[in-house]
Structure 1
Amino acid sequence: MPDFPLAHLTAIAYYLPSGELTNEQLSTVFPEWSVDKIMNKVGISARRVVAKNEFTSDLAVAAAQNLFKENNFNPDNIDYLILCTQSPDYFLPTTACLVHERLQLSSAAGAIDINQGCSGFVYGLGLAKGLIASGDVDNVLLITAETYSRFLHPDDKGNRSIFGDAAAAALITASPAGAKIGKVVLGTEGKGAKNLIVKNGAMRFPKTEDQSMRTDIDGNFFNDNYLYMNGTEIFNFTLESVPALVKDTLERNELQQEHIDLFIFHQANKFMLDYLRKKIKIPAEKFYIHMERCGNTVSSTIPIAMKHALLEDKIKAGSKVLVAGFGVGYSWGGTVLQF
C-alpha cells in the first residue's frame, strides 16, 4: 500500500462583525422574554450581526487575513480554497471565487463553495484531508462563513436569540505541524431537510411579498421567506445522532472515550449541549463551550471554540480533541484531532 500524505490542522483564526444584538435589546422587542430567561435558555448574552453593506465574502476575507497575519503565512502558498457557506453573496459565481480574488491567491489555486451548515467545518476537514492525501496539494484554506441574520424574521424571537454572524479560517497542510486529522465520520439523513430550512428564495419556490408569521401544526411560528426551525424535531435528531456519532468516531479512530482530552461540539445552544454532555457521560471539565458573546455561528462554532480553547491552554501538545458537528440537512460529522 502506498503512503498517503497526512493532513494537519495547522492554524485557526476568525472574524466577528462589529454589530451586536444583546439580550437587553431582544427583551425590549419581546418583553415576555427577560434577559435572564434568554441567558438561561440558550446560554447566549450577545450575537454578532453584519451591517447592511457587509456580506459573507467580507467576513471570509477578514477571517483569512487574520489567519495569514497571526501565523505569518504567505497566501501565495495556498493551493486550494474551500468556502463553506449557506448564505453566499450570489447564486453564481461562487463566493469562493470572490474571496480568492480579494485575497490575491494564486491563479493555480482551486476555489469551491460547499453548501453545508452546522456540520460544515468537519465536512470541510474531510475534504481538505482528501486533497492533501491525493498528493496534488500541500496547503488548503478552509473558510466557514455565514450571515444567517439575513434569514431571520424580525418577529422570530427563537431563532433571533440563537444565531450570530461570523467567519473562521483554518489552514490544513501536509507539513507535520499542528493537529493530525484522524478518521472522519460523516452522515446524512435528508428526510429531516424540512425541519431546518429557508424554503423560498431559490429556484423551486421564489421569494414572495408575504411578511406575515404563521403557525405550523406543532405551534412553531414561521414565514417561508425566512429560516424555519422545528426545535422539537431538531432536538430529537440531535439526541439520536450525536451519541452514535461520538461512538462511531471513537471506534474509527481506535480510541476509548477516556482517551479524549477535550470534546468540542457544534455550539448549538447551552441547553442542548448540557443535555448531550450528560447523556454521553462526558465530564464537565472535558467539555468545552464558547458561545456566550457570539451566539450560534453555524459552521464557524467549532473553529471559534477551538481557537479559544487553545488560547486558554485547554488544548496542549499531545491532546486528543474530538470535534462533532450536526444540524441542517440533516447532516453530521466527527473526527479526532491529535495535537
Structure 2
Amino acid sequence: MINSKIKFIESFFPEKVLTNDMISMEFPTWDSSKIEEKVGVKNRYVVQENETALDLAYSAASKILERYDKNKIDFVILCTQSPEYILPTTACILQAKLGLNKNVGAFDFNLGCSGYIYGLGIAKSLINTNMAKSVLLVTSETYTKHINKLDFANRSIFGDAATATIIEVDENECLHEFVYGTDGNGACNLIIPNGGARNIREDDPVLLDAQNGNKRTENDLFMNGPEIFNFTITTIPKLINDVLQKNNLEISDIDYFIFHQANKFMLDYLRKKMKVDSEKFYNNILEIGNTVSSTIPIALKECLEDNKVKTGDKVLLCGFGVGYSWGATVITI
C-alpha cells in the first residue's frame, strides 16, 4: 500500500478583528469577562462585507505555494459551508485562481467542525489508492456571515479563517486509522433553516428570540448550545476509545491531543473526563475563536511552531459538531 504524510500547513486570517470590548459596546448588559472565562475567546477575526471563504482559501493556499511546487499538486479538496456559489464548486474556482494544472481533480465537501478529519481521510484514500500523489486540502469558513448581528452569543464564539495542508506520498504511513460517526437526528441543533432547497431565504424575515436577549431570524445560524454540549460529552469519549483501539494504542501512547476548538469549557470537561494531562492537550482559542473546520489545522500548525509536538510524535486529532458529525485519527509527525 502507498503511504501518506502531512508535509506542510498554512493558515490565514482576515484583517478585521472583533474584540469582546467591541461587542460590549453594542450590548452593555453582555458580560465579556464571563464569556472569556467560560468560552475562552477574547478576540476573533471576521471577514469584511465583500470578503468570502474563497478569498481566505486563496490566501491560505497561496502561502503554502510559496514553499511548495504547485505543479506537484494533482488533487484539490475544499471543506466549506460558506461556498462562493450554489454551483459551481468553489474548489474549481480555486484551482483556476491558483494557476494549478488542468489535470488536477477538485471538489468541495460540506462539513463543519469534523471537516479536517474527513479531509485527511479523503486525502489518505486518494494517495493510498494511487489516484493522487499530492493533495491540497483547504478548509475555509466564514460563519460570521451566517450570524445575526443581534445574536451576541454566537458572535462571541465564532471567527473566520482558512487553512491549507499538503498531504503527500511518503515512505511511512503517518496518517493512521480513522473512525467516523454521524447522527443526523441532531441536525436541527446547529442549522441555518433558510437558504437551501427546502426553505428559500426570506426577504423580510421575522426577528426571533434566541434566548437570553439574543435575536435571530430563520435566515441565520441557530445553535442549541446545551444540546451540542450533551452530544459532545456523550459521544467523544467513546470516539477516543474507538480510535485508540482501532490503532492498537493506549491513551498513554499518545504524545499530544488536538481536538476541535469548540470552546474552553467543553474542552476542559473532555480533558478531565479522559484524564489527560493539560500539558498534552491543546486548548487555546483566546485570540481567534471557533473557526469551525480550521481549528484543528490551526492548532496543529501552532503546536509544530511552538515545539509542543516534534518529529516522531503520535498526535490524536478529533473533530465534532454540526451534522451531528464526528471523526478522529492518529497521525505521526
Residues 1-339 of structure 1: matches in 2 within 5 Å?
4-69=1-66, 72-176=67-171, 180-215=174-209, 222-339=216-333
Give the distance between the partners of 1:272 and 1:24, measured in 2 at CA: 23
CA contact (8 A) 1:122 1:325 kept: yes
Moved more, 216-225 or 154-163: 216-225
Give the distance between the partners of 1:35 and 1:220, measured in 2 at CA: 15
Q: Which amino acid aligns with 1:223?
A: T
C-alpha deviations, 1:259-287, integer Å up to 9, x for none? 11110000001111111111111111110
Identity %: 49
Give the distance between the partners of 1:298 and 1:66, measured in 2 at CA: 20
C-alpha deviations, 1:151-193, integer Å up to 9, x for none? 000111111000000000111111248x810101111000000
Give the distance between the partners of 1:102 and 1:176, measured in 2 at CA: 32
Task: Give the SS at the match of 1:116.
Answer: coil
Cα deviation, residue 14, structure 1: 0.5
Cα deviation, residue 32, structure 1: 1.6
Give the distance between the partners of 2:306 and 2:7, measured in 1 at CA: 17
Give the distance between the partners of 2:143 and 2:262, measured in 1 at CA: 14
Residues 195 and 218 (structure 1), Cα distance of their counterparts in 2 relative to 1, 3 Å cut: farther
Normalised to the residue count of structure 2, the TM-score between the two structures is 0.97
CA contact (8 A) 2:271 2:281 kept: yes
Q: Which consecutive residues of structure 1, in runs of 5 or more, have no partner in the other structure? A: none
CA contact (8 A) 2:150 2:214 kept: no
Task: Give the SS at the match of 1:235.
Answer: helix
Task: Give the SS at the match of 2:177.
Answer: coil
Q: Which amino acid aligns with 2:114?
A: S
C-alpha deviations, 1:13-44, integer Å up to 9, x for none? 01000011100001111212233122112111
Cα deviation, residue 222, structure 1: 3.8
Q: Which amino acid aligns with 1:249?
A: V
Task: Give the SS at the match of 1:205.
Answer: coil
Q: Which amino acid aligns with 2:19?
A: T
Cα deviation, residue 115, structure 1: 0.2
CA contact (8 A) 1:132 1:138 kept: yes
Give the distance between the partners of 1:136 and 1:113, measured in 2 at CA: 17
Q: Which amino acid aligns with 2:275?
A: K
CA contact (8 A) 1:167 1:300 kept: yes
Residues 151 and 311 (structure 1), Cα distance of their counterparts in 2 relative to 1, 3 Å cut: same
- How big is the alpha-carbon RMSD for the aligned residues of Structure 1 and Structure 2? 1.6
Cα deviation, residue 120, structure 1: 0.1
Give the distance between the partners of 1:35 and 1:200, measured in 2 at CA: 30
Moved more, 219-228 or 76-85: 219-228
Give the distance between the partners of 1:125 and 1:161, measured in 2 at CA: 29
Q: Which amino acid aligns with 1:33?
A: W
Give the distance between the partners of 2:306 and 2:81, measured in 1 at CA: 30
Give the distance between the partners of 2:238 and 2:262, measured in 1 at CA: 18
CA contact (8 A) 1:220 1:230 kept: no
Structure 1 outlier segments of 4+, above 4 Å: 216-221
Q: Which amino acid aligns with 1:42?
A: V
Give the distance between the partners of 1:217 and 1:11, measured in 2 at CA: 42
The count of residues paired between Structure 1 and Structure 2 equals 333
Residues 238 and 220 (structure 1), Cα distance of their counterparts in 2 relative to 1, 3 Å cut: farther
Cα deviation, residue 61, structure 1: 0.7
CA contact (8 A) 2:148 2:215 kept: no
Give the distance between the partners of 2:212 and 2:291, measured in 1 at CA: 26
Normalised to the residue count of structure 1, the TM-score between the two structures is 0.95
Residues 231 and 221 (structure 1), Cα distance of their counterparts in 2 relative to 1, 3 Å cut: farther
Q: Which consecutive residues of structure 2, in runs of 5 or more, have no partner in the other structure? A: none
